[in-house]
Amino acid sequence: MTTKEQYWKYTLIALIVFMAILLFREYAPFLSGFLGASTVYILVRKQMFYLIEKKKWGRSLSASLILAEVLLIFLIPCSFAVWLLIQELHGINLDPSATINVIQKFADAIKEKTGYYVLSTDNMVKAAAYLPKIGQIIINSVSSFVLNSVILLFVLYFLLIGGRKMEEYFYDLLPFNNANKKDVLREVDVMVKSNAIGIPLLAIIQGCFAFAGYWIFDVPNPVLFAFVTCFASIIPVVGTMAIWFPIAIYMAISGDWMNALGLTAYSLIVISNVDNLLRLFLQKKLANIHPLITVFGVVIGLSVFGFWGVIFGPLYLSMFVLLVNIFKQEYLDKDR
C-alpha cells in the first residue's frame, strides 16, 4: 500500500469515527428506541424470514404484520397493567387530612421506637426540595418512553425490510474471521433471547408470589405492591427486598408484629428462593450465564442504556469477555 493510499485509508477511518461520535451524542436520548428495535428484531427475525421465504409474502406486508403483533404483545399487557395500577390508586384514600394523620402516626411510632423524629424541620425542607425533581423525573421518563416506543417501531420496520441483506452487510463489517464472527453472533443471539424472555418472565412470576404473600399477611393494596415488586425484581442484588422489607418494617412499627414477621419469613423463604431457583433454571435453559456477569451487567446497563440495560448490560459485559478471549486466542496463544 502506497503512502497516498495509507493516507486515504486512515483519513477515512478518522472521519468515520469523528462522525460516529457526533451522531452518537445527538442520538443518545433515543438510544433505548434503537436498542429496543434491535432486541425485538433478534426475537422475530425468523418469523419474518418464514413469511417472506416460505409463504412468499411481500416484505412490507410481512413487516407490518409483525409490527402489529409486537404492538399488541406489548400494548395489551402494558395497558392492563396501567389500568390495574389506576384502579388501585383510585382505591387509595387521598384525603389530605387523613394522609397527614397516617404520616404523623408513622413518624410518632418511629420516634417512640428509635428516638428519631423523621418529620423534623430539616427533613421536611429536604423532602420538599426533592418533590419537584421527582415530578420532573416522572414526566421525563413517561415522555421518553413514549418517544422511544415510536422510534422502536419505526426502526424495527426498516430492520425487518432490510432482512438478510442488512445482516450480511453488518456481518462483513465485523473485524473477525468467520469462526469468531459466528461466536460473536451466537453470543449476541443467546444473551438477547435469554434476557428478553427470562427477565419479564421472572418479574411476572415473582410478582404473583409476592401478591400471594401480601394478600395472606394483610398488606394494604396488595395488587399495587405486587405490581411494584415486578419492577423491583430487575434491581441487582437488592431486588424484591426493596419493596417487601419496608412494608414489613412499617407493619411492625404500626404494631402488626405477627403479619410483619410472617411477611418477612414468607419473603425470605419463598420470594427470594423463587428468584434464585428461577434464575438458575432459566440460565440452564436459555443461556449459561455467570451470575457475576448478570449482576454487574445490569448495574452497568441501567446507568448507560436505561431500561434496556437489563438486556444489553449483561450482553455488553459478555461481549467484553468474549473479545478478550478472541484476542488471547488469535494473538497471544499463537506466539507461544
With CA atoms as reference, report the closest residue to 63 among 154, 152, 157, 162.
157
Which pLDDT tens digit goes with each residue over 251-288? 877 778 888 889 889 988 888 777 767 766 666 566 56
* C-alpha–C-alpha distance, residues 81 and 231, integer Å: 12
Which carries the bigger pLDDT value, residue 295 or residue 173? 173
pLDDT at 163 over 80: yes
Question: Do 267 and 221 touch, CB atoms closer than 8 A?
Answer: no
* C-alpha–C-alpha distance, residues 205 and 198, integer Å: 11
Distances (CA, A) of 47 to 18, 53, 69, 163: 37, 10, 11, 11
Q: Report the share of the chain in percent with pLDDT over 90.
A: 6
DSSP string, 284-317: HHH----HHHHHHHHHHHHHHHGGGHHHHHHHHH
Half-sphere exposure of 257 (CA within 13 A, CB side): 1
* C-alpha–C-alpha distance, residues 57 and 60, integer Å: 9
Which helix (H) or strand (E) covers residue 126, if one does? Answer: helix 121-173
Question: Do 191 and 289 touch, CB atoms closer than 8 A?
Answer: yes
DSSP string, 233-292: TTSTTTTTHHHHHHHHHHHHHTT-HHHHHHHHHHIIIIIHHHHHHHHHHHHHHH----HH
What would the mean pLDDT of 88-115 be, rounded to a whole number?
A: 58
Model-wide pTM > 0.85: no
Which helix (H) or strand (E) covers residue 106, if one does? Answer: helix 96-114
Kindly state the cell numbers that stand for 100: 397527614
Question: Measured on CA atoms in the order 10, 13, 15, 21, is the torsion positive or negative?
Answer: negative
Which pLDDT tens digit goes with each residue over 16-40? 889 989 988 888 778 778 888 888 8
Question: Measured on CA atoms in the order 146, 149, 155, 161, is the torsion positive or negative?
Answer: negative
pLDDT at 94 over 50: no
